[in-house]
Structure 1
Amino acid sequence: MTKLARTIRLDVSDTQVFTQPAPTGVWAIPGGFAFSDWSEDDLTGKARQDFANGWLDLDTFGRATFVAVAEASEAEIAALRDRLADHFVERYGAPDRLAALPTAAEEIAFMIELCADHTPNTLLAVSRELTGAGVRESFRAIAPTDAHLDQVAVHASPD
């Protein structure tokens, strides 16, 4: 099985700090592309938190502070590529799904690579900063034994 990550909420803070909070238990990617044309002027209020620490969920396209590594089927991955490609058409003006699929596949592949060396339930956090060259992302992993995720992790099935 391939690994991706699902949103997880350890407390209610996500519902208060993000422009659109992500639901719990949905697949997510870093989603830094959403900030590619941002400047310091865009970093105000909840948008600042979206930028600074938000993972992009692939259901509602909301943001979450943490994701937990989980196994994903090839069918789920294919559906996520299509969903993200459709989002690129709807939100970013890609001409159609076919044109958007290569970029969507790259984003999903990047997330698979981020998760590959981590065991299920490992928490991942993202942080971003604006630099002269654009957006810089860094990632941090918290092992499940350190976080005691077996008590709080959300596990979903494809059903």
Structure 2
Amino acid sequence: MSALKLPRTLRLDPSDAFVFAEAAEPGEWAVTGSFLFWDRDLTSLTGKDRIAFRSGFLGVRSFAFSTLVVVSEANEAERDAAVAELAGHLQARLGAPDRTAALVAAREEIDFAASLCDLPIGTVVAMHRTETKGAISEAFRTLHQKPGGEDRLHAGARAFRFVETDEDEPEERADLIGLARSRTS
């Protein structure tokens, strides 16, 4: 039997604190969080809500967003605690009709998150979420550690590199300076 693995939120730099309305703390168990967008008008999302839709994993403890997760070893007690914590949010914040329904939904979300972790421990995963004809789709990619010495200017300074994909989707841009200014206003 293989070890239980779940995604944990990962923060390589402070950008999550600028791009999301609320950023998950590093090290939280995470789920994709797509259920937060099921009943929303996705075409009207702007700013931080749009970024959360496009690329945010949901931290189970904080119910806040993270751009990246890392595949991590977990035990049954940690898995059960994540289910219980997520169920609490589903009931208190999203109006699940009772604890039993909340637990069933939370277990499904945690099980789906675990299914994404059929990768080596320590693998970093990013998500890109889209909406097409009323259906939400999620695409996942792994980020790979950059071999040493490739970048003489930043030798050893960058832990990861982004891998180009063959997808023909519009490039997503974030105005980090503008977001930082609006946050301090």
Q: 1:18 maps to which residue?
A: 20
- Whether the 8 Å CA contact 1:52–1:128 is kept in 2: the answer is yes
Match of 1:98 among 87, 97, 100: 100
Report the number of matched residues. Answer: 148
Rg larger for: 2
Q: 2:11 maps to which residue?
A: 9
CA distance in 2, matches of 1:118, 1:47: 29
- Equivalent AA in structure 1 for residue 126 of structure 2: A
Q: 1:63 maps to which residue?
A: 65
Measure how far apart 1:82 and its partner are: 0.9
CA distance in 1, matches of 2:119, 2:147: 14
Q: 2:45 maps to which residue?
A: 43
Q: 2:136 maps to which residue?
A: 135
- Equivalent AA in structure 2 for residue 64 of structure 1: S
- Equivalent AA in structure 2 for residue 123 of structure 1: V
Q: 1:74-85 residue pairs with structure 2 within 5 A?
A: 74-85=76-87
Give CA deviations for 1:105-137 in whole Å, capped at 9, x if unaligned: 11111011110x201110011111121132111
In structure 2, list runs of 5 or more residues that go unmatched.
Answer: 149-157, 160-185
Structure 2 counterpart SS, 1:92: coil
CA distance in 1, matches of 2:95, 2:135: 21
Q: Which has the higher contact order (CA 8 A, sep 6+)?
A: 1
Measure how far apart 1:40 and its partner are: 3.6
Measure how far apart 1:39 and its partner are: 1.9
Q: TM-score, normalised by structure 2?
A: 0.75
